[in-house]
Structure 1
Amino acid sequence: MKTFFAKHSAFLIVLSVSASLFAQEFQGKAYYFSKTPMNLGSWGATMSEQQKKQIAERLKNRLEKTYVLTFNKQASVYKEDEKLDAISGATDSWGKNFTPGTQYKNVKTNTFLQAQEFYGKKFLVKDSLMPLKWKLQTESKQIGQYTCFKATALIAKSQLSWYSFSWSQLRNNASNANETDTLEEITQVVAWYTPQLPISQGPGEYWGLPGLILEVNVNDTTILCSKIVINPEEKIKINAPDKGQQVNKQEYKKIIVEKMQEFRNNRTGRRNR
């Protein structure tokens, strides 16, 4: 009981400090590092350690990424800081087709925009912010100089991966073609937010907490904030993406699945000639 009240007292102190900060003109940048462990499954059991190491180097750009979140009181832009491939010296052009582009979130208007490029064609995905029913926890920890509190939410996996693709989706679509209801796979998201930065923003599509989200854990992926710059001397501009064919998330998902189905059919047809 004492621990519970001690943590809530600390929370109130942080809120009072944050209120004075929030009263000022408030904007900044948060730098995040994302890491996902390599999972080769049963295929990896047949490989030597040297082969696994080579594959890990080639997949590094897909498994380890850096991002910048530029924010003010209402809106934010989240963008990947692209790096050259460690082996070829080029960007990961294949993987880029199925990764999130520049994201814009406006918590006042409930607006979500994401710029996507799929095999040379530009799309502007416009939708509402992803609905998140956070459960606030009493557990806390320190991330850098910020006191952070834990929050959890259950989210449909399809909402987290609408811009990505796997060949298994084609098999699933075929097997579920005659079914009216399919069981939605749910995943738990754990977030750590700080009331010291009282904005309802975070990396990727995560938002809706009473403070900036500094860490997210979902499945095997961890997104962690490594640096924050508040009210830099040069005024920040939040520019929403505005180019490309406008679609919503569901429409975009349908487009890429159909195009990949067409791509596979064309390759199968050429092999059978």
Structure 2
Amino acid sequence: MKITEFFKYAIFSLTLLVGVCSFAQNDFQGKAYYISKTSIDMDNFGRPGMSEEQKKRIAERMKSMFEKTYVLTFNKTESIYKEEEKLEAPGQGQGGRFRGMMSSFTGGDQYKNIKDKVFLQDQELFGKQFLIKDSLSQINWVMGSETKQIGQYMCFKATATIADSSFDFTRFRRPPENRTNAQDSTQTKAPKTNDSEKLIQVEAWYTLQIPINQGPGEYWGLPGLILEVNAGRTTVLCSKIVMNPNDKDAIKKPSKGKEVTKLEYQEILEKKMKELRENFRGRGRGGRRG
């Protein structure tokens, strides 16, 4: 081993030892700040025949809606993952209304208990409050030896194949204008889908310097805190970590709303999406000129 590599791993080992010792505290707590960015497949979004310039303008206006910041507050066994609130810029009233509608399709506060394998999520769907309660989904990680540096933390790569639970915006596409009424009557019926069959590849980077099994969102189960996730069109990257802050926040379990499982909520969401799609297409047909 080269001298530079020896010192590199010696420093890493010392840092890891110090990190492990800090976790021996009974009141240990940490905060990880994440930036989440999701790109949109504009080829399958918007009206049929929309120009590339129009798609580009829409993508630019929607960009801020798909760039979010989150805080993961964690201790040895529990965590709560919350989106940080943003002040809306002046002149974005229309975008604000659209963002309000889209918030019904994005996750609320997410609580994970690694010890008891409990997952809780506070979710509002068009004014109705739900409490999603389920067991933590097991992720079958494949851990590799590849490493990279994220800030001051050495991270290791892990991959997995999971069901894609992200919201599909292309389901609100209008049908082509040249369809006949008979075609419309068949096409407006949404095909039955099984989200568990929509699989995506996930790449995660975790650090042993913070040896807890937590991560952003529903990601967990690695021998260190997950600092980066690449899944489908979404990238989540940790921008800052605060260990043992002076002012500790209580990790409170979400408790309000109608209690449902993930599967039950997914069925409710699918039904609501179908209603919105039918209403959207109905307005489209009603607005056509003879």
Select the residue among 187, 191, 206 that pairs with 2:200: 187
Select the residue among 136, 141, 144 that pairs with 1:137: 144
Shift of 1:259: 2.4
- Matched residue SS, 1:18: helix
Alignment of 1:20-169 (within 5 A): 20-24=21-25, 25-41=27-43, 46-47=50-51, 49=53, 51-86=54-89, 87-88=91-92, 90=96, 92-157=99-164, 160-161=165-166, 167=171
| Contact 2:42–2:59 (8 Å) recurs in 1 | no
Whole-Å separation in 1 of the counterparts to 2:282 and 2:52: 35
| Contact 1:104–1:241 (8 Å) recurs in 2 | yes
| Contact 2:34–2:236 (8 Å) recurs in 1 | yes
- Matched residue SS, 1:54: helix
Shift in alpha-carbon separation, 1:93–1:20, aligned structure 2, 3 A: same
Aligned position for 2:252: 239
- Matched residue SS, 1:123: strand
| Contact 1:165–1:257 (8 Å) recurs in 2 | no
Shift of 1:194: 0.7
Whole-Å separation in 2 of the counterparts to 1:129 and 1:193: 19
Aligned position for 2:177: none
Shift in alpha-carbon separation, 1:166–1:39, aligned structure 2, 3 A: closer
Aligned position for 1:204: 217
Q: How many equivalent pairs are there?
A: 263
Aligned position for 1:222: 235
| Contact 2:45–2:170 (8 Å) recurs in 1 | no
| Contact 1:124–1:243 (8 Å) recurs in 2 | yes
Whole-Å separation in 2 of the counterparts to 1:111 and 1:219: 25
- Matched residue SS, 2:221: coil
Whole-Å separation in 1 of the counterparts to 2:157 and 2:188: 35
- Matched residue SS, 2:23: helix
User: Counterpart of 1:184 in structure 2: which amino acid?
Assistant: E
| Contact 1:138–1:149 (8 Å) recurs in 2 | yes
Bigger Cα Rg: 2
Shift of 1:37: 2.5
| Contact 2:107–2:123 (8 Å) recurs in 1 | yes
Unaligned runs of 5+ in 1: none
Whole-Å separation in 2 of the counterparts to 1:46 and 1:268: 17
Unaligned runs of 5+ in 2: 174-185
Shift of 1:268: 6.2
Shift of 1:88: 1.1
**Percent identity over the alignment?**
54
Shift in alpha-carbon separation, 1:212–1:172, aligned structure 2, 3 A: farther
Shift of 1:94: 1.2
User: Counterpart of 1:136 in structure 2: which amino acid?
Assistant: M
- Matched residue SS, 1:167: helix
- Matched residue SS, 2:197: coil
Shift in alpha-carbon separation, 1:188–1:196, aligned structure 2, 3 A: same
TM-score by structure 1 length?
0.83
Shift of 1:58: 2.2
Whole-Å separation in 2 of the counterparts to 1:13 and 1:138: 20
